A = this chain, B = another copy of it.
Amino acid sequence: MSNQEMQNFIYKRFLSTPKREAFYYEGKSYTFETVYHEAYRWAGILSAKGVKQSQFVGVLLKNNLQSVFVLFALQLLGVKAVILNSRLTSKEIIWQLQDSGSVFFITEDAFKKVRADVEMEVSSLRLLVKEEIMDDDFEEPMIVSEVQLDHICTIMYTSGTTGHPKGVMQTYGNHLWSAVGSSLNLGLRDDDVWLCAVPLFHISGFSILMRGLIYGHKIVLLDSFDADKTITLIREQKVTIMSAVSTMLKKMVERLQQQPLHDSFRCMLLGGGPASRALLEDSVSCGIPVYQTYGMTETSSQIVTLSPEDSIKKLGSAGKALFPSQVKICRETGEVAEANESGEIFVKGPNVTSGYLGKDEATAEKIQQGWLATGDIGLLDEDGFLYVLDRRSDLIISGGENVYPAEVEGIVAAHPAVDDTGVIGMKDSTWGEVPVAFVVIKKDAEVSHKELEEYCQEKLAKYKIPKRFFIVDQIPRNAAKKILRRELRKMVQAF
């Protein structure tokens, strides 16, 4: 179907606006022309190594501009990139490489141990180390000038906070529609500059790369998040949009209190769960308009977004579905829930994956008539705003009452002495389960268990108040900053 074909995004962007700035990285700017030529050069090097259209190729790379060129080269070649999370163990990486049927494994010097482990364990896989091949022979590459929107662009394995990791297939169309849906909500300005301090191996970062191509705006790329560096770059490079999670925003707000950001900074796209009222209010006073979002690997980034004008009025909400997408809440019986009735969140839209690589059964179970069962629990209020209550598997049932950890965490985290928190259910002889909280206390702050309890008493029904507070140094989170509740469950036994 001809309507499903488009010019390769990188090539198209080069044709459209070759002289526009595409990236700012480590003190230097790069135009789309340069980026295209670099990606083309990499395509030629990879081509000479035998990398070809339609292959699956594992990619384990750091957040840097050469990595971007490699990722774009793979798109030019029509390769399906299996993008690997750099925080995984060798064992997990090998599992994903094998599960995806990857023919090549592209990585860089920094991952010495993983590289050695992969080399030893999977002899069939062809290893390419970025630094070793970057000046190697070039062969005129076979560029895929037109991409099919329903062809796979990337594979990302789900974070695995629950169950076994599955390879989420993200098509060119998924990425395109994700970018389009976001732009129809956030708008699109010719002075837009997007700062990327989130991992490129995660959909939050990778989607910024795709938006850069589709919108034609500049991306300020960081190796990793650093609050001071981020603030400096936002000011210097006139950044207008940034993607973050609460912990990043919190650090920025703490540093910014004296000097708000410039007026043209127009959007902090916040993923990874709702922000507390305190954080939202602090953000406002720092000149940071926060757009809370809900999304996942399967939706190729945000699918539901809350505008700043609603952020206080609809505190804790993730907002409404983007224009091309839909969200609904279903009862366990499959019927659509009433307004304000909680149930499983289902999403649909052209940004939603068509399924899990090689897992037809899991796909058929999770996606029916285009609707993806997210496994998350939420409700839509009477105005159609989504409230994400929790991951289904984390629901705590206490004396017959439902307790959603995220809700409790939102309250505990708002305490001025609390830096981070995570809540789980603990077995209890009377109530079946009771919520307990792990708490990281801010440097130089002090707070007693009793004070925390009293603080919650004002804000939460009795059955929702954590029965115990465990003071810890750190809350275990995965790369996507989601709380690893199974780790907390292990920790509870240690106390």
A: which residues have CB within 8 A of B? 1-7, 12-13, 15-16, 150, 173, 177, 180, 183-184, 187-190, 214-216, 320-321, 323-324, 326, 348-350, 352, 354, 367, 369-370, 384
Partner of A320, one of B16, B320, B321: B16
Contacts A2-B370, A214-B323 known; 15 new A-B pairs at CB < 8 A? A2-B348, A2-B352, A2-B367, A2-B369, A3-B177, A3-B350, A3-B370, A5-B370, A6-B324, A6-B350, A7-B326, A12-B323, A13-B323, A180-B184, A183-B183
CA–CA, A449 to B36, complex, Å? 53
Residues of chain B within 8 A (CB-CB) of A13 are: 323
Residues of chain B within 8 A (CB-CB) of A323 are: 12-13, 16, 214, 216
**A189 — nearest CB in chain B belongs to which residue?**
B187
Q: Shortest distance in angstroms between A367's beta carbon and chain B's nearest beta carbon? A: 8
Q: Shortest distance in angstroms between A229's beta carbon and chain B's nearest beta carbon? A: 29
Residues of chain B within 8 A (CB-CB) of A5 are: 348, 370
Q: Is the CB of A3 within 8 A of B150?
A: yes
Question: How many identical chains are in the complex?
Answer: 2
Q: Is the CB of B173 within 8 A of A3?
A: yes
CA–CA, A308 to B352, complex, Å? 37
Can you list 24 A-B pairs, Cβ within 8 angstroms, ordered by A? A2-B352, A2-B369, A2-B370, A3-B150, A3-B173, A3-B177, A3-B354, A3-B370, A4-B350, A5-B348, A5-B370, A7-B326, A13-B323, A15-B384, A183-B184, A183-B188, A184-B188, A184-B216, A187-B187, A187-B190, A188-B188, A189-B189, A214-B323, A216-B323
CA–CA, A384 to B15, complex, Å? 7
Residues of chain B within 8 A (CB-CB) of A326 are: 7
Partner of A187, one of B188, B214, B350: B188
**A2 — nearest CB in chain B belongs to which residue?**
B370
**A12 — nearest CB in chain B belongs to which residue?**
B323
CA–CA, A177 to B2, complex, Å? 13
- 4 tightest Cβ-Cβ pairs between the two chains A and B: A2-B370, A188-B188, A3-B350, A187-B188
Residues of chain B within 8 A (CB-CB) of A150 are: 1, 3
**A367 — nearest CB in chain B belongs to which residue?**
B2
Residues of chain B within 8 A (CB-CB) of A369 are: 2
**A213 — nearest CB in chain B belongs to which residue?**
B323
CA–CA, A69 to B456, complex, Å? 52
Q: Is the CB of A320 within 8 A of B183?
A: no
Q: Shortest distance in angstroms between A410's beta carbon and chain B's nearest beta carbon? A: 26
**A180 — nearest CB in chain B belongs to which residue?**
B180
Q: Is the CB of A214 within 8 A of B350?
A: no
Residues of chain B within 8 A (CB-CB) of A3 are: 150, 173, 177, 350, 352, 354, 370
Residues of chain B within 8 A (CB-CB) of A12 are: 323
Residues of chain B within 8 A (CB-CB) of A187 are: 187-190
CA–CA, A2 to B215, complex, Å? 25
CA–CA, A105 to B45, complex, Å? 63
